[in-house]
Amino acid sequence: MRAERPLGPVMVDLAGLELAPDERELLAHPLVGGVILFARNYASPEQLRALTGAIGAARSPALLIAVDHEGGRVQRFVEGFTRLPPMRSLGRAYDANPGFAENLAGATGVVLAAELAAHGVDFSFAPVLDIDFGSSSVIGDRAFHSEAVAVARLAAALAGGMRRVGMGAVGKHFPGHGFVRADSHHEVPIDERELAVIEADDLAPYRALIAGGLAGVMPAHVIYPQVDSRPAGFSPVWLKDILRGRLGFDGIVFSDDLSMEGASVAGGIVERGHAALDAGCDMVLVCNAREAAVRLLDGLGPAALDAERAERMRGPGGRAAASGAAYRAALAQLGRGRDDGTLA
């Protein structure tokens, strides 16, 4: 019988299609609390179920299993899954018929969540709540729209569809990555706008989704010097004062990948982990950098993930999630959207 131990605050990745012996040891580390999957971890639906089953059996309570599965160019599992459209296509549909587009967004959320849950994945880091200001190529068509109201309505509908299946949504990249041109994977973006401007535009989708029970938030590796000299993911001003205090968010805060260049201003990997957790992140991600992940686990010190917040991200699981009437109806609705060209 596996010993019960609290989940830790670090989310790690895996090298391939099944757990290697050293990865089983890695997942047993007390500071590990979750696993993020990538395209390299997927070959078929059957293989994915076997992998998530092995991850789930690694410890008790089971580790959280996540993926970036937004649709469009950010969809890790393709063959055997419904090909989801980029969120911009929902924005184009919104321009023609807002109510119809919101229904399509809700159907997209149902399909996204049901298919992931049927394969043992707890949640996706979605939806993107960034506004498309025409500047950011890394966001681009991942954003629903160029208007905050449209982003809020479509994202709320998609999150509502996910919630119908029992899956929590994660809004990203707080407070907004859409205004800056630099890509935080490779640079340290700086957004010179004042807080009042960001509040009026970028924070509007967060207000709407938080009011509806948003389960998770991922902050951006972007510096907003008019508010704080630190990137949002390392800033207690953004995470504690604004996100939790002013906006009333009570869910889980995930750092963006600490191995990204946008996180480099916080120092080495251990310093980045401490800075993110001290700022208000509940869980930190280290992706595509196994040696850095091990250094973080060795140097971080004792820490635990808030159990109540973690459970809000626990997916419904089981194949039944993808076999219900809601899933079939949502698939049909997406098909109709494609037939009339709204999801091209």
- Is 16 part of any domain? no
- Is 49 part of any domain? no
Q: Is 0.85 surpassed by the pTM of this model?
A: yes
Q: What is the pLDDT of residue 320?
A: 47
- CA–CA distance, 22 with 119 (Å, rounded to integer): 24
Region 219-246: mean pLDDT is 97
- Is 9 part of any domain? no
From residue 205, how far is each of 131, 199, 246, 309 by CA, in Å?
A: 9, 10, 14, 21
Percentage of residues in the chain having pLDDT higher than 90: 85
Sign of CA dihedral 288, 291, 296, 302: positive
pLDDT digits (tens, 9 = 90+) for 295-337: 999 999 999 999 999 999 997 765 445 558 889 999 999 988 8
Short-list 307, 279, 321, 259, CA closest to 36? 259
What is the chain's percent helix, strand, coil content, to nearest 5?
45, 15, 40
Contact 316, 166 (CB under 8 A): yes
Task: Supply the DSSP string of 263-295, one letter for each residue.
Answer: GGGG-SHHHHHHHHHHHT-SEEE--S-HHHHHH
- Our count of domains for the chain comes to 1
Question: Helices (H) and strands (E) in the chain — how many of each?
Answer: 12, 10
Percentage of residues in the chain having pLDDT higher than 70: 96
pLDDT digits (tens, 9 = 90+) for 187-203: 788 999 999 999 999 99
Token pair listed for 138: 């890394």
- Is 318 part of any domain? yes
- Is 334 part of any domain? yes
Domain that includes residue 114, residue range: 88-339
Determine which one of 22, 95, 185, 250 is catalytic.
185
CATH of residue 156's domain is 3.20.20.300
Region 58-67: mean pLDDT is 96
Query: Binning pLDDT at 50, 70 and 90, where does residue 1 land?
Result: very low
165, pLDDT greater than 80: yes
185 is catalytic: yes
- Is 326 part of any domain? yes
Cβ neighbours of residue 154 under 8 Å, at least 6 residues apart? 87, 90, 91, 94, 101, 102, 105, 144, 145
Region 34-41: mean pLDDT is 98
Q: What is the pLDDT of residue 264?
A: 87
Task: Tell me which of 4 and 130 has the higher pLDDT.
Answer: 130
Q: What is the pLDDT of residue 317?
A: 64
- Is 135 part of any domain? yes
Question: Measured between alpha carbons, how far apart are the two ends of the chain, in Å?
Answer: 51
Determine which one of 13, 122, 256, 257 is catalytic.
256
Region 156-163: mean pLDDT is 96
Output the average pLDDT for the chain.
93
256 is catalytic: yes
- Is 54 part of any domain? no
